[in-house]
Amino acid sequence: QVQLVESGGGLVQAGGSLRLSCAASGLTFSRYGMGWFRQAPGKEREFVAAISWRGGNTPYADSAKGRFTISRDNAKNTMYLQMNNLKPEDTTVYYCAAAPLARSLWIPASYDYWGQGTQVTVSS
């Protein structure tokens, strides 16, 4: 049974930082492209960042470029999202996801497995 468990969300002031983690089990982690998405109530799921199998390809949404850094540790079956200079508009639930093919990682339909999400709240 595949499980993706996000952690690290919370409440932070604008300009602050958070580091999200996504712990994976039940799959060969190093063979999956991984991604972070976010979704506000009533809105579509939005791509944030993704990382290929070995980390050589890391696309970012424009809103994340220069502030967020995605990484992975295949030995620990864990992916991370370092978020710096957070803004109130970053407030929402963040989801990690696993894709069997490391292409089109900015598209939600590319992913087979999803975590339950972690709430990030940025106060102004």
Transcribe the chain into DSSP letters. Answer: --EEEEE--EEEETT--EEEEEEEESS-GGGSEEEEEEE-TTS--EEEEEE-TTSS---B-TTTTTTEEEEEETTTTEEEEEE-S--GGG-EEEEEEEESSSSSTTSGGG-SEE---EEEEEE-
In this structure, which amino acid lies at residue 9?
G
By C-alpha distance, which of 20, 18, 23, 25 is closest to 2? 25
Structural tokens at position 3: 């499980």
By C-alpha distance, which of 14, 17, 33, 16 is closest to 96? 33
Can you give the pLDDT of all 124 residues of the chain as single tens digits? 999 999 999 999 999 999 999 999 999 999 999 999 999 989 999 999 999 999 899 999 999 999 999 999 999 999 999 999 999 999 999 999 999 987 899 999 999 999 999 999 999 9
Characterise 62 by phi-psi region: left (phi > 0), alpha (psi -120 to 50), beta (else): alpha
